[in-house]
């Protein structure tokens, strides 16, 4: 195989759309950082290229122990991800099951009938809205259900925010999020396919998961960062700004359990959990208590299980008849 053929094979495997989105999100992050640097006064850096670099890469963030912890956690999770990925069920798998239920165990359509451009557009728009609501609601429940909060605390234990903090999720939470999204979107795909008599098709844009595609244009890398990018108030009434998500990570009392949404802010408005960005970023991030239990890689993985056993298994032992569960 020649070098040119090898490059073509790699390009076909990775896909130009994925590479374009990856590059586009980085460019947008830099543009968003530049906009914030020039229009916000909460930092003291001079309006120079050197000042911009210090603004984007401050020593307090680059050298922080939490930065090393986030990077290490992301690498270790990547290496051992196979241990729990088998528990994930994709959108189309759920769609197939729900379709069989809706149509009295008949298999999905496999004919040549395809939806029109308008039908496909409606399918995508509704699918993106469902994705976003399910992401909001699953996140909301992570805070409201005590058992799930034990696992979500891993994410909120970050004392500094960098883009890699977006990977600081416990595996149990990843399974939780995947089930909510896959089941919900699976129902929508099954309903759409059954109503339109068309084959099952995932919610994608140019072959990429639609919510990932949309998020790439919402400054996704700045949500978990120290760059406090605000939107005008009228825009934050529609879309969640990076600054609003950073407020979600604040442990200040007025910010607790606020701004659960990621893309649209309408869900927080409906649930009464919306908070708009303030001129100055929140100074205190992390957990109100128990922060000392999330300072190492081992603690990030193990602490939720230890607290779960202590809280729920211990309670079960106290409620169970003496002797049946051992001493």
Q: What is the CA 290 to chain-centroid distance, rounded?
A: 23
The answer on pLDDT for 200 being more than 80 is yes
Q: Lowest-confidence range among 99-103, 174-178, 231-235, 248-252?
A: 99-103
Per-residue pLDDT averaged across 225-235, rounded? Answer: 95
Output the pLDDT for position 112.
58
Cβ pair 187, 208 in contact under 8 A: no
Give domain status of residue 258, yes or no.
yes
The answer on pLDDT for 157 being more than 50 is yes
| CA 164 vs CA 18, 88, 267: distances in Å | 19, 22, 26
Give domain status of residue 201, yes or no.
yes
Give domain status of residue 26, yes or no.
yes
The answer on pLDDT for 218 being more than 70 is yes
CA distance 103 to 200: 13
pLDDT digits (tens, 9 = 90+) for 96-141: 888 888 887 777 766 656 778 888 889 999 999 999 999 999 999 9
Give domain status of residue 235, yes or no.
yes
Give domain status of residue 7, yes or no.
no
Per-residue pLDDT averaged across 83-90, rounded? Answer: 85
CA distance 277 to 233: 8
For residue 87, what pLDDT band results from cuts at 50, 70 and 90?
confident
The answer on pLDDT for 237 being more than 70 is yes
Phi-psi region of 286 (alpha: psi -120 to 50; beta: other; left: phi over 0): left
Residue 284: strand, helix, or coil: coil
Cβ pair 243, 40 in contact under 8 A: no
Kindly report the pTM of this predicted structure: 0.88
Give domain status of residue 6, yes or no.
no
**How many C-beta neighbours within 10 Å does residue 145 have?**
13
Cβ pair 186, 91 in contact under 8 A: yes
- Total tally of structural domains belonging to the chain: 1
Residues 6+ apart with CB under 8 A from 92: 186, 189, 200, 202
Domain limits at 171?
Answer: 14-319
Residues 6+ apart with CB under 8 A from 320: none
Output the pLDDT for position 51.
94
DSSP string of 282-302? Answer: -S-BS-SS-GGGSSSHHHHHH
């Amino acid at each position: 195989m020649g070098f040119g053929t090898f490059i073509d094979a790699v390009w076909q495997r990775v896909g130009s759309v994925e590479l374009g989105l990856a590059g586009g999100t980085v460019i947008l992050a830099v543009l968003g950082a530049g906009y914030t640097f020039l229009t916000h006064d909460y930092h003291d850096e001079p309006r120079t290229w050197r000042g911009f670099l210090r603004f984007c890469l401050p020593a307090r963030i680059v050298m922080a122990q939490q930065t090393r912890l986030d990077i290490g956690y992301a690498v270790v999770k990547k290496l051992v991800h196979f241990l729990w990925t088998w528990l994930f069920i994709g959108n189309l798998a759920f769609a197939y099951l729900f379709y069989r239920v809706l149509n009295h165990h008949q298999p999905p359509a496999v004919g040549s009938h395809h939806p029109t451009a308008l039908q496909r557009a409606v399918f995508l728009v509704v699918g993106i809205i469902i994705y976003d609501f399910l992401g909001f609601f699953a996140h909301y429940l992570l805070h409201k259900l005590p058992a799930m909060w034990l696992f979500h605390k891993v994410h909120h234990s970050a004392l500094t925010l960098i883009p890699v903090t977006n990977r600081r999720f416990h595996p149990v939470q990843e399974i939780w999020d995947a089930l909510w999204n896959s089941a919900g979107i699976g129902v929508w795909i099954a309903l759409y396919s059954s109503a339109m008599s068309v084959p099952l098709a995932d919610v994608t844009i140019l072959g990429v998961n639609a919510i990932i595609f949309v998020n790439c244009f919402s400054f996704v890398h700045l949500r978990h960062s120290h760059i406090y990018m605000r939107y005008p108030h009228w825009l934050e009434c529609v879309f969640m700004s990076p600054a609003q998500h950073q407020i979600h990570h604040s442990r200040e009392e007025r910010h607790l359990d606020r701004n659960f949404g990621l893309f649209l802010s309408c869900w927080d408005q409906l649930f009464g959990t919306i908070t708009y960005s303030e001129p100055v970023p929140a100074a205190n991030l992390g957990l109100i208590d128990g922060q000392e239990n999330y300072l190492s890689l081992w603690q990030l993985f193990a602490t939720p299980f230890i607290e779960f056993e202590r809280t729920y298994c211990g309670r079960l032992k106290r409620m169970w008849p003496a002797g049946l569960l051992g001493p």
